[in-house]
């Protein structure tokens, strides 16, 4: 048997305004594909590349609990 050689692939990361991550290998997605469960619908919000996302969206993606606490402090 010959060993197969895997070629490395780049994965693009896209983020919606809620901080949900969407990964893509070949195409560029237009909407968020995040679901809370199988029975609920997709998020459906427009996505932006992670490198172009605003700082608050990146913070939501990395630590959603901390971002929600910070947002509640700003409202009060």
The residue segments making up the domain with residue 40 are 12-75
Domain contains 37: yes
More confident residue, 40 or 7: 40
Return the bridge partners of 21, or none: 15
**Which of helix, strand or coil describes residue 42?**
coil
Domain contains 50: yes
Domain contains 29: yes
Work out how many domains the chain is built from and give that number. 1
Helix axes 55-62, 64-75, angle to 10 degrees: 130
Average pLDDT, integer, range 32-41? 89
Contact residues for 44 (Cβ-Cβ < 8 A; gap 6+): 31, 32
**pTM (global) more than 0.85:** no
Domain contains 2: no
């Amino acid at each position: 048997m010959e060993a197969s050689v895997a070629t490395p692939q780049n994965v693009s990361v896209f983020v919606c305004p809620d901080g949900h991550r969407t990964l893509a290998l070949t195409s560029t997605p237009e909407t968020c594909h995040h679901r809370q469960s199988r029975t609920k619908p997709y998020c459906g919000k427009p996505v932006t590349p992670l490198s172009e996302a605003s700082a608050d969206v990146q913070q939501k993606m990395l630590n959603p609990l901390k971002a929600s606490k910070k947002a509640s402090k700003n409202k009060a």
